[in-house]
Amino acid sequence: MTYKYPTILALLLASTFVVQAQSKDETAIRTAIDAMTTAQSVYDAAALERLFTSDYIEISPVGEFDPRAKVLTFYTPAEKEKSADVSIDVAEDFRSIRVYGDTAVAIVELTFTMSKDGKTAPPRKMMATAVCRKERGDWKIASVQYTGIRPPAAQPSAAPK
């Protein structure tokens, strides 16, 4: 009975350290995904090279299987030049981050707002499932699958009476 309270205290302290470590990992994962969406919106292939694992793969928004090298070709200076008059803003709503040691799965809703020549298009949404892996203490993105979210159906207008 005399060991009851020190044992409970030790268990509480241990669980506190686990929660703090997981919170730190979740923050780092959010930061990595935010850096990825920012790099994509400004066509920063060098930043994406640093953020992606060497074996990165993606299922694109149109359902194509794209290995790392192919994905990086979408963010070259030539591609940026084609979209020079388009600005893209990405808002992220993290739905879930589950950490399993040095691997994590994050699900995030992305809302894209695009403007061209001063005209803003209606926002477009998609869900992204990202698999992340900790390498040498840093969280990297190993895979992302994008799934488009259909816009809400237009409400039928009331029939005249």
- Read off the pLDDT of residues 113-156 as tens digits, 9 standing for 90 and up: 989 888 998 899 999 999 999 999 999 999 999 999 888 777 77
pLDDT at 76: 86
Give residue limits of the domains in the chain.
4-149
4-149: in CATH 3.10.450.50: yes
- Give the phi and the psi of residue 29 in degrees, each rounded to 5: -65, -45
54-106 pLDDT tens trace = 999 999 999 999 999 999 999 988 887 887 788 888 999 999 999 999 999 99
**pTM of this prediction?**
0.78
